[in-house]
Amino acid sequence: MSMKRRDVAKLEEHLGYRFRDKSHLERALSHPSTVMTPRMQVDETYQRHEFLGDRVLALTVAELLLKAFPKADEGELARRFNGLVRNETCADVAREIGVGPFIRLGEGEAQAGGRKKEAILGDVCESIIGAVFMDSGFDEARKLVTRYWEKRMLDWTGPLRDAKTTLQEWVQGNKLPPPVYRLVERTGPDHEPQFTLRVEVPTLEPALGTGPSKRIAEQDAALAVLKREGQWSEDQD
């Protein structure tokens, strides 16, 4: 079922971009739960646009970082990059744009709160970038990414060291086996999950970490070990 014309116009206003071929936008907003067969998923849902949008986002953010931080080394650039292209950031952009109400979902996914799920919001955000690329090419897609990511890049306050990587390097330097991360608990509704993970390193006390994704919980657990062992100072947060 096609989107209503007024809905398309409203979302385009939020995006700051008007599609020449509205089918690109409709496909970018269509979750796999809206179709019945795997073949239809390829043709009629956001998956292919998401694949493309992910690459466009990565290239544009990398370009923005190189221009904004000419003296940063590869490690610093990589950590800034990872913070900007992760699913949580894409979901945050989707919420800023107000994409949620426009996402097309199957009945079951809609009842499960799919329009608020971070994973779906992040996927749709990338698919919209891909849709703009398909509709007008790289320059317009770059403009969209720049509009919503440049301010996040300049305001970013995340650590310039990655806790998991730092822990891995530290245990290797002490000739210990690599850390192992285990899921302890998952709580909360599907659209607002909370994960608790435990990191285990031989000869060290395990530590717990929490977060809205497994990746964030792992970072939190690694950070807890590093702080406890005196390998991470507060000014690195």
> Any idea where the domains of the chain sit in the sequence?
5-155, 163-236
Give the residue from 184, 182, 49 showing the smallest Cα distance to 128.
49
Cα–Cα distance between 202 and 178 in angstroms, integer?
Answer: 9
Catalytic residue flag (residue 88):
no
* pLDDT above 90 (res 65): yes
Task: Tell whether pTM > 0.75.
Answer: no
Q: What is the DSSP letter of 123?
A: H
| CATH topology assigned to domain 5-155 | Ribonuclease iii, N-terminal Endonuclease Domain; Chain A (1.10.1520)
Out of 26, 44, 126, 218, pick the active-site residue.
Answer: 126
Cα–Cα distance between 179 and 76 in angstroms, integer?
Answer: 23
Out of 26, 44, 54, 118, pick the active-site residue.
Answer: 54
N-term to C-term CA, the chain = 47
Cα–Cα distance between 227 and 129 in angstroms, integer?
Answer: 39
Whether residue 126 is annotated as binding a ligand: the answer is yes
Cα–Cα distance between 204 and 201 in angstroms, integer?
Answer: 6
| Residues 127-152 pLDDT 10s | 999 999 999 999 999 999 999 999 99
Whether residue 50 is annotated as binding a ligand: the answer is yes
Cβ contact 163:207 at 8 Å = no
Cα–Cα distance between 50 and 67 in angstroms, integer?
Answer: 26
* pLDDT above 80 (res 20): yes
Cα–Cα distance between 132 and 137 in angstroms, integer?
Answer: 7
* pLDDT above 90 (res 234): no
Q: Are strands 180-187 and 194-200 parallel, antiparallel or unpaired?
A: antiparallel
| Residues 102-113 pLDDT 10s | 999 998 889 889
* pLDDT above 90 (res 83): no
Cα–Cα distance between 96 and 66 in angstroms, integer?
Answer: 25
Tokens of 123: 């996927």
Cα–Cα distance between 2 and 92 in angstroms, integer?
Answer: 26
* pLDDT above 60 (res 237): no
The per-residue pLDDT of the chain, averaged, comes to 89
Class for the domain spanning 163-236: alpha beta
Tokens of 171: 């245990």
Catalytic residue flag (residue 237):
no
Give the residue from 165, 155, 139, 123 showing the smallest Cα distance to 59.
139
